[in-house]
Amino acid sequence: MSITYGAMGGLVVEIVVFYGRIAAWQTARHRALARNKQRAQLPRLDKYIDPPSDVLAALTRLSLGAGAGWIFSPQLTGALATVAVGASAPALLRQLGSARTLQAVIGGTHSGHEPVEADGPSVGVLPGGTEVIES
């Protein structure tokens, strides 16, 4: 059940994003009609919606929502809480992925406090978890 409710949370966010694109298209059409009154110069819907990328983004958001619902199910009580976790899945999973303890487990012994040696700019982490990039 948690997976379904989490996916529904992701779907809710995608519906809101889709509505935002439709509303932007509607506003642009109204503006164009008010200026020139020629229907031939109205903005086209395909300038605001790209079906292949939008469908892929929606499927990704649904998957992230379902995954977050599953991951956090032991801590969640109720359908509404699970929908909320699914809706905020990208931010929650990003936060979970940036946890120092998880980085230490995945990356070995690096604690997150020392600068990372790399070919490019050096990256350090302040005690509060803020990354500092130096060129």
Is the model's pTM score more than 0.95? no
Bigger pLDDT: 53 vs 126: 53
DSSP tally for the chain: helices H, then strands E: 5, 2
Is there a single domain that holds both residue 49 and residue 110? no
Q: Which of 36-50, 51-65, 114-128 has the highest mean pLDDT?
A: 51-65
Same domain, 55 and 89: yes
Domain that holds residue 63: 2-97
DSSP structure class, residue 39: G
Q: Are residues 76 and 110 in the same domain?
A: no
Domain check: are 58 and 8 in the same one? yes
Confidence of residue 110 (pLDDT cuts 50, 70, 90): low
Average pLDDT over residues 41-67: 91
Residue recorded with tokens 């980085």: 103
The pLDDT of 79-87, averaged and rounded, is 91
Residue 127 CB-density burial (10 A; 0-12 exposed, 13-18 middle, 19+ buried): exposed
122 pLDDT tier (thresholds 50, 70, 90):
very low
Residues 47 and 6 in one domain: yes
Which range among 19-23, 25-29, 37-41, 45-49 shows the weakest confidence by mean pLDDT? 37-41
Whether the pLDDT of residue 97 is over 50: the answer is yes
* Confidence (pLDDT) at 64: 92
Same domain, 87 and 114: no
